[in-house]
Amino acid sequence: MPTRNLLGWQSWDLGALAIRIPLGLIMLLHGAQKVFGAFGGAGPAGFTESIGMMGFQPAPLWAGLAMLAELGGGLLVILGVATEVGAFLFAINMLVAIWRVHWANGFFNQAGGVEFPLILLAAAVALILGGPGRYAVWNPFRRE
């Protein structure tokens, strides 16, 4: 199927870039809240405690994996370096967040529902399926 062309840029290349930058930034900043306690975040101790209270044991392992997925995955997605890997890690994070935190609150974001993590999951899945586009630092899974 042919793609649209805008000023010589293929539509998915632009679309992927438009998804990668904000999604990666959201991932990175949420990771910074957990890893460094930045932007009013709980920091590693607070996040590990909340993971343990959700029933994930050993809590330090699961908290560490979630922090790595958000901080490291966010950086990968922004730069377009192994984007599918970073997006996959974040998609797993969002599935768990939807299941363990947001599902009981319904759909809408105002009540803490699934609305926001669901759109983040959809963006991550789009990058997993479509790749980072042409404007990426390094793409080992490049599709031509």
34-54 residue pLDDT tens: 999 999 999 999 999 999 999
Report yes or no on 66 lying in a domain: yes
The domain tally of the chain equals: 1
pLDDT band at 1 (very low <50, low <70, confident <90, very high): very low
pTM of the model: 0.88
Alpha carbon distance 113, 32 (integer Å): 23
CB contact burial 112-138 (16+ within 10 A = b; e otherwise): ebbbbbbebbebbebbbebbbbbebee
3-state secondary structure (DSSP) of residue 81 = strand
Look at residues 15, 7, 8 and name the one whose alpha carbon lies nearest to residue 126.
15
Report yes or no on 144 lying in a domain: no
| Positions of E strands within the chain | 5-6, 9-10
Segments forming the whole domain that contains residue 16? 10-130
- Does pLDDT of 92 surpass 90? yes
CA gyration radius for the chain?
16
Token code pair at residue 30? 């949420």
Report yes or no on 106 lying in a domain: yes
Q: 3-12, 17-26, 77-86, 93-102: which has the minimum mean pLDDT?
A: 3-12
Report yes or no on 140 lying in a domain: no
Percentage of the chain exceeding pLDDT 90: 82
Backbone φ and ψ of 81, nearest 5°: -110, 115
Length of the chain as a residue count: 144
pLDDT band at 4 (very low <50, low <70, confident <90, very high): low
Report yes or no on 117 lying in a domain: yes
Report yes or no on 142 lying in a domain: no
Report yes or no on 137 lying in a domain: no
